[in-house]
Structure 1
Amino acid sequence: MGGRGASGVARMVVSVVGVVVAAAAVLSPAAAGGLGKEAAALVAIRAALHDPGQVLRDWDPKSGDPCRWSMVTCHGGHVQKLSMMKQNLSGTLSPAIGRLRSLRYLCLRHNAISGPIPETIGRMKLLQVLDLSNNQFSGSIPSTLGNMVNLHYLKLNNNSLSGPVPDSLVTARRIFNLYFQLPIILLSLLHVQPGRAVSLGHLKQYRFKEIRNATNNFSQRNILGEGGYGIVYKGHLPDGTPVAVKRLKDHDSVVGDDQFHTEVEVISLAVHRNLLHLIGFCIANNERLLVYPYMPNGTVASKLKECVNGEPALDWPRRKMIALGASRGLLYLHEQCDPKIIHRDIKASNILLDEYLEAIVADFGLAKLVDHGMSHVVTTVRGTVGRIPPEYFMSGHTSEKTDVFCFGLLLIELVTGRETLELHQNEYQKGGIIEWAKELLEQNQLSSFADKKLRNNYDSAELEEMVQIALLCTRYNPKHRPRMFEVVTMLEGGDGVAEKWEAMKNVEDPDPDEFVYRAINSYYEDQSNSIELEAIELSGPR
């Protein structure tokens, strides 16, 4: 067996070499220079890949000009772009890739290519974009990547890479967009010398002493708020910039460390005006800290309680704008991020307000990264009890519709101004707040549902539409809830909200399990904490 295996490998090597030689020989004399060498490199790359769909079938010296080959773009007589995303390719990436010295763009995202990342990639000095994400690459990240002077976009996440990030990449300020899987990033930033501050893309690593000084030694007077995973302090950087510092609890536990990794990774991937961005972080022996911009107007939950000169701090137009801003942030997470991001804990206390009272979606500690090809994932149930959608609560199935459900409850918070969504005694006996809203809507009595602080200073038609959207978002069956882009369209004033509600309001009867779900959910209602619940305990054997 060993002899036959060795001879088979030898024959394969001879075959590949023969094909490469043939590539150079068949090309015209004019192409025998740079482009001839590039064609030979492309043929070698194809030989190392497994291509069941034959998408690279024209990568053949007999096909003539390589600039006409599929997924190859040339300029000035040289190969400058290879775009091979989602082509069902496996095998390995040949070191011959380094011979494409004029290449500026290389994307192999969403394939199943394995093996090491070739060191020879570092020879492509003109390369600007390198995306190898969502494959099966293993081994360490080549240090030669840090020598690519024109590289400004590098994406290696969702592979099986290990070891530290090379120093040359950690300190490469020219790389504006840098994506790894987080365990590698954090491991490498611990391989940093004491006292040395570094930047990773747009993130800065702070020394613990800097954070301690900024928060006046974590003074209780500087506490902005406290949640299930940490305490948030107001601080000032040495240049006077105000910041919010989240000091994580249980940082030495699996859950606490996962929450830290998730929050850094998600916020690094998602950049949008309605999403909180991360300034930097600190990793000390027993500390995990996240540094954010300071939001002077606090949370939507706190602002809904406030009145100024007898008037609510958030009038009806501002509440509408908050709903629209938050929905746009969620739409970005669901449909414009790769991988898509499910927040899993949308509520008024997790929506911040900047100096212009613009909605900023925050607190990504429970977020889940999901490939766009997946309809849902099964995971441990996490979130704020009382706000967990039924399908997630009972089976651990989470999807974009999880966020849509929670967003519907956020709309109810904006309409009612309630501190919690739990009904008062004798307020409504036939169900929870969703059922009560539906009954008031059908009876044309929504004025009793609206926040009393508004004193009827709202547009009745707009109030009715917002309640209808909230009820559409909180349908029991996730398939009957709208997608986030539909929610945004409705909130932007798109026609058909009433029609959508009329068409959907009687589509289904409540599932019998809903009553169990509602009872448990109402019993444990607690808006102030985001906690982890074991799905098997809540849903029973399955």
Structure 2
Amino acid sequence: MFQLKIFSSWLIFLSVLRHSYPITDPDVEGEALIEFLRALNDSNNQIKDWNSFFVSPCYSWSNVDCSNKHVISLNLASKGFSGTLSPSIAKLKYLVSLELQDNNLAGPLPDYIANLTRLEYLNLADNNFSGSVPATWGRLSSLKHLLLKGNKLSGHIPDTISNLTGLAELDLSSNGLTGTVPMPLFSIPIFNFSNTLLRCGSSLDQPCASKPSLSGSTNKPKLVKVVGFASCGLFALIILGAIFVYRYHHMHRHKTDVFFDVSGEDESQISFWQLRRFSWRELQHATKNFSKSNVIGTGGFGKVYKGVLSDGTKVAVKRLADYQAPGGEAAFQREVQLISVAVHKNLLRLIGYCTTSTERILVYPFMENRSVAYQLRDLKEGEKGLDWAMRKNVAFGTAHGLDYLHNQCNPKIIHRDLKAANILLDDNFEAVLGDFGLAKLVDTRVTHVTTQVRGTMGHIAPEYLCTGKSSEKTDVFGYGITLLELVTGQRAVDLFRLQEEEEDVLLLDHIKKLLKEDRVKDIVDRNLETYDSEEVERIIHVALLCTRNYPEERPTMSEIVKMLQGVGLQERWNELEQHNNEEEVSNQLMSHQFVWTAEYSTLDQEAIRLSAAR
């Protein structure tokens, strides 16, 4: 217990570091970087891993350094960029260092750089920037290094640059600048005005460069260096702590070696990496003692409650009914593990967790717009449902989320319970794929993993039901059924269709029957006032390709993302129709063969009877 409290102290220390900076939406920085890269014109495809569907660039993007989940440094030197600087760079409010030297960037130096008030290191040397140095840059009060040599700059040096009293290095050499150098700039420890039309040297009795000249210096601001060393130090501490906890638990042969609990202690401020550990008392207070009135959903392993934290943040609290039941503890650890490695715009983000001797609880952001299933079928009077544009957006967002799980996670992740009820909607009605309780990490060396069959009837692929073997293609099947839910608004399995003299309880069979009878209009949800018939037809075609009987015949999620945009869909659909026609002809031949055999058998029996009579 003493050792655990020591480790808890380390976690508290890390938490203090984590909470010492204000928090902003990580989506803003990621989207800003994508816009910035687009304007740079990366024709040589130097940056390959910046993906607009990742929640934050701080997790895996190259050439990006972060601190407290914020981008603080961009090193994009010598990449062959030939574009311009996008205004989106101004959205990186925490940027400390920007390196774009040795590219072919052109255009004027933008005023909006002045909005980067934390910027300390700016290197735009050896590009093709033209025009004057913006006077607004005098507002960069934190700037210590300004390197602009080797461009096509002209005009005077603005007097406002003299306001940058913290400058330690200024290099304006090899430009077409004219006029007089403001006297305060000669007091900068490192400066270089050589190879310009500026008045310095004998004409001004001031040297054009300090000695020794460090033109083109790559000195970084101390903060970036300190952050790098601190990150390494913190990483080492965490690794040592993890090893210590592992050895402690191993020696005492505890059943679990991932989570620990110090009963009775308020650990609501303890953080482990990006996850926050809540105390039982805090979640009890947030959910009004887990009141029935706060229940917003029920899953396979427990109930989900709406909660409000002490700071006013709304959360969804998933409480496992009995973590000691078969699979319960494994589900908890699996979900925490999965969320920690799967970070994507269309995947539900895990805020934190709570563990006690009797409880396992997960805490997620609260989704005001509930689930797609709620929006399609459970709206209260006066609430407006999803229009066609929203449904189409859900289809795209879900596809991107699954594509990430299947193809960009290592090891890959299979969801295994994809349905409208597990697709949540954020404040902007963007699809957020949730409930990884049934998901399973899949080793890339194994194509199929035998498991206990789990999921929801009507969404389960036939091969999964028969063999208990799941793969990415079982998710593809579930996605196809979900597309049909979006188009029709109906459930995957609905016994009420029997009351309407419809024989098909399964939605998939019902849709196939309507298509065969050329009743396409009867497929679309009656609550949709307007829709694009071509887009509806496209999504239905994708859905039927996803729900083919044999998994090898179904497309991958990467192919589906393209087909939703119309790329490659017609070819696959033609193949399906040809297959169906051949199957129908084969069935007819078998039917005729059966009839002929039956008739022949009848004649033969009659001949035998007559022969016997003689």
Q: TM-score, normalised by structure 2?
A: 0.52
CA distance in 1, matches of 2:237, 2:461: 37
In structure 1, the residue matched to 2:245 is: 164
CA gap 1:371/1:312 in 2 versus in 1, 3 angstroms: same
In structure 1, the residue matched to 2:233 is: 149
Preserved CA contact (<8 Å) 1:465 1:498: no
CA distance in 1, matches of 2:397, 2:535: 17
CA distance in 2, matches of 1:252, 1:264: 17
CA gap 1:396/1:163 in 2 versus in 1, 3 angstroms: farther
CA gap 1:150/1:219 in 2 versus in 1, 3 angstroms: closer
In structure 2, the residue matched to 1:190 is: 261
> Following superposition of structure 1 onto structure 2, how do residues 456-535 of structure 1 map, counting pairs within 5 Å?
457-491=530-564, 493-507=565-579
Preserved CA contact (<8 Å) 2:493 2:505: no
In structure 2, the residue matched to 1:435 is: 509
CA distance in 1, matches of 2:547, 2:239: 36
In structure 1, the residue matched to 2:439 is: 367
In structure 2, the residue matched to 1:418 is: 490
CA distance in 2, matches of 1:153, 1:326: 38
Preserved CA contact (<8 Å) 1:311 1:454: no
In structure 1, the residue matched to 2:522 is: 448
Match status 1:244 vs 2:316: yes
Residue 436 of structure 1 aligns to a residue whose secondary structure is helix
Instruction: State how many pairs are aligned.
Output: 348
Deviations 1:225-258 (A, max 9, x none): 1122111111111111111101111222132112
Preserved CA contact (<8 Å) 1:270 1:333: yes
For 2:401, which of 329, 332, 340 is the aligned residue?
Answer: 329
In structure 1, the residue matched to 2:336 is: 264
> Following superposition of structure 1 onto structure 2, how do residues 40-439 of structure 1 map, counting pairs within 5 Å?
148-149=232-233, 151=235, 164-165=245-246, 183-186=256-259, 189-190=260-261, 194-196=265-267, 197-305=269-377, 313-422=385-494, 424-425=497-498, 427-429=501-503, 432-439=506-513
Letter in 2 for 1:489: K
Deviations 1:58-77 (A, max 9, x none): xxxxxxxxxxxxxxxxxxxx
Quick one: percent identity of the two aligned structures?
45
Deviations 1:285-331 (A, max 9, x none): 21111100010000100011266998951011110000100111111
Letter in 2 for 1:190: D
Preserved CA contact (<8 Å) 2:494 2:505: no
Q: TM-score, normalised by structure 1?
A: 0.59
CA distance in 2, matches of 1:499, 1:395: 31
Letter in 1 for 2:569: V
CA distance in 1, matches of 2:517, 2:307: 50
In structure 1, the residue matched to 2:201 is: none
Deviations 1:425-481 (A, max 9, x none): 1544378432332343344321101111114x1111111111111110011100000
CA drift at 1:386: 2.7
Which is bigger in relative contact order (C-alpha 8 A, separation at least 6)?
1
Out of 341-350 and 364-373, give the one that drifted further: 364-373
Preserved CA contact (<8 Å) 2:368 2:427: yes
Structure 2 runs not aligned, ≥5 long = 1-224, 249-254, 585-614
Letter in 2 for 1:209: R
CA drift at 1:162: 8.7
RMSD across aligned positions (CA): 3.3
CA distance in 1, matches of 2:238, 2:547: 39
CA distance in 2, matches of 1:272, 1:252: 31
Deviations 1:360-394 (A, max 9, x none): 00000000101223211111111112321111111
Deviations 1:143-191 (A, max 9, x none): xxx99516499999xxxx9983489xxxxxxxxxxxxxx95322xx337
Deviations 1:388-434 (A, max 9, x none): 11111111111000100000010011011014433611544378432
Residue 452 of structure 1 aligns to a residue whose secondary structure is coil
Preserved CA contact (<8 Å) 1:333 1:340: yes
Residue 562 of structure 2 aligns to a residue whose secondary structure is helix
Preserved CA contact (<8 Å) 1:468 1:498: no
CA distance in 2, matches of 1:408, 1:263: 24
CA drift at 1:333: 0.5
Letter in 2 for 1:486: E
